[in-house]
Amino acid sequence: MAIEHLQAVPHLTTALNGPLQRLEEHLLARQTEIEQWFRGQWLATLPPFYASVDLRNAGFKLAPVDTNLFPAGFNNLNPAFQPLCIQAIQTAVERFCPKACRILVVPESHTRNLFYLESLASLVNLLGLAGFQVDVGSLLPEITVPQTVSLASGRTLTLSPLRREGNKLKVGDQTPCVVLLNNDLSGGVPEILHGLEDQPVVPPPSMGWKTRRKSRHFLLYRQAAAEFAAIADIDPWLIDPVFRQCGKIDFQKREGEDCLTYYVEEVLNEIRAKYREYKIPDDPFVIVKADAGTYGMNIMTVRSPEEVRDLNRKQRTKMARGKEGFEVKEVLVQEGVYTFETWEEAVAEPVVYMIDRFVVGGFYRVHAERGKDENLNAPGMTFKPLAFVESCINPDRSRAPDACPNRFYAYGVIARLALVAAAREIHTAA
C-alpha cells in the first residue's frame, strides 16, 4: 500500500468552525491537564488488557457508540505501529503476570470466518514479537488434535485442543502463564474456564456478552465524561451520546412496545433540545440496539416513535435474536450520532484500538452502501488504516485543530475516555 494512501485523511463534509473544532481547540489547549487526568485514572483503576472503540464524528459532536473488550480486526491496523503494539503488550502482560513467558489465546469458535482468523493470526504474531510463546486453544469439541489452517495472507494458524488439569488449563504438555480471551462469550462462560487458579484470565470472563450490558458501560462513560468535561471546560453532550435502556422487550410477541416507544420519543426530544441550542439543522435520530452483543447485529435506525410500532415481521425477526441464538430482551435506545466523514465518497467512521492504556492504532470502517445515519458494521464494509503519521497522543499545537495529527489526538482522547469507563466496568464487576 502506498505511503500517500496510508496518509490520506477522510474528508469531513461539515464546516470545521463549529462546536467540534472548539472541542478540539479545548483538548489541545488543555493537553497537559488531560494527560494528568488520564494518569490519575489508571492509578485508580487498571485498564483492560485491550479494547477497540467505535467513534462517530458528526462535525458538531465526537462520541463513542460501542466499546469492544474482545476486539478483532488486528489485521486491519497499520503495520507501522507494530513497535507500539509490542511495547503495550509487554506492559499489559507484566501487569497481570510479571514472570509470564507463555500465553494461551482462547479465540472465537467460528473457524470458517477467514477474516477473523486473519485478525487472530495478527494478534498471535504481535504476542510472539513481544517475546511470548503463544498457543491458540480452541473451545470447539471437534478439535481433538492440533489443526493448522492456511490463510489467504500466506500465514498459518494452529488451533489446539484445550484440556483441564486440576485448576489449570493446558495445551498438550504446556501450562500457559496467562489466558487471553479473544472470545466474547455470548453463549456464557464454558465450564473449562471456571475456577482457574494462578492463571490470570484477561479480560475477565464476567465481561462476556452473556452478562455484560452496554447500558452499564455507557452509564459509567457518562460519569467519566462529566468528570472529563469539567477538566476540558466543555459541554459533556459534545462527547456523550444520550441513551435509555428498555429491559422488557419481545420483538416476536410485540411485547414491550410502549416502553421502547416512550424511550425513543424521550431520547429524540432530548436531542432536539440540544440541536436547537447549537443551531444544528439536521434531523435527530436514534439507534435501537441489543443491550448485549457485537458484530453489528440487532441494530436499527429509528427517526420517530411510530417506526417502532410499524416494524414488519422481517425487522422483528432480525432484532429478536443475536449471536449464538441469544434472545434479545433488553435494548439500548442510543442517540444517533451522524458520521460526516467520507472515504472516496463512501461513508466512514474511525475505530480506535488500545492495548493497556496506550492507543496503538486503528482504522476507518467504510461502507459504500450505508448512509451517514446508519450502522456501518455490516456486510459490505471495508477497512482503511488510520493515518497516524505520528502517535495520536502527540498533537502539534502549531497546527490547526483539524490538521493531522490533531484530529487523531481528539480521537485518541475520546477512545481513552471510553477505556476509562470500561476499566471502571471491570472494577465494579469484580
- Within a domain: 264: yes
356 contacts: CB under 8 Å, gap ≥ 6: 47, 49, 50, 88, 89, 91, 92, 95
**Residue 341: φ, ψ to 5°:** -90, 140
What pLDDT shows up at residue 249? 77
What average pLDDT score do residues 18-34 get? 79
C-alpha cell at position 411: 480521537
Secondary structure of residue 11 in the 3-state scheme: strand
Tell which wins on pLDDT, 187 or 22.
Answer: 187
Total domains, the chain:
3
- Rounded Cα distance, 414 and 24, in Å: 11
277 and 394 share a domain? Answer: no
CATH number reported for the structural domain that contains residue 315 in this entry: 3.30.1490.20
| Cross-strand pairs, 333 | 244, 288
Burial of 196 (0-12, 13-18, 19+ CB in 10 A): middle
Per-residue model confidence as pLDDT tens digits over 267-285: 999 999 999 999 999 999 9
What pLDDT shows up at residue 320? 62
Residue 61 has pLDDT above 70, yes or no: yes
pTM (2 d.p.): 0.91
404 and 269 share a domain? Answer: no
Which of the listed residues 336, 360, 380 is the one where a domain comes to its end? Answer: 336
Which of the listed residues 336, 370, 399 is the one where a domain comes to its end? Answer: 336
**Position 91: which residue type?**
T
Angstrom CA distances, 154 to 258, 419, 426, stand at: 53, 34, 37
- Rounded Cα distance, 285 and 264, in Å: 9
Q: What mean pLDDT value characterizes the chain?
A: 87
Secondary structure of residue 98 in the 3-state scheme: coil
Helix axes 19-29, 214-232, angle to 10 degrees: 70
What pLDDT shows up at residue 28? 85
Per-residue model confidence as pLDDT tens digits over 209-243: 989 999 999 999 999 999 999 998 899 999 999 99
| Cross-strand pairs, 106 | 181
Residue 13 has pLDDT above 90, yes or no: no
CATH number reported for the structural domain that contains residue 164 in this entry: 3.40.50.11280
Eight-class DSSP state of 112: T
233 and 347 share a domain? Answer: yes
41 and 178 share a domain? Answer: no
**pLDDT interval class at 254 (50, 70, 90):** confident
42 and 64 share a domain? Answer: yes
What pLDDT shows up at residue 8? 37
Looking from the CA of 73 toward its CB, the CA atoms found within 13 Å total: 30
Which of the listed residues 150, 181, 207 is the one where a domain comes to its end? Answer: 207
Residues of the domain holding 312: 242-336
Gyration radius (Cα) of the chain, Å: 21
Instruction: List alpha helices for 109-213, DSSP H.
Output: 114-129
Per-residue model confidence as pLDDT tens digits over 314-362: 676 676 665 555 677 888 999 999 998 888 889 999 999 999 999 998 8
294 and 257 share a domain? Answer: yes
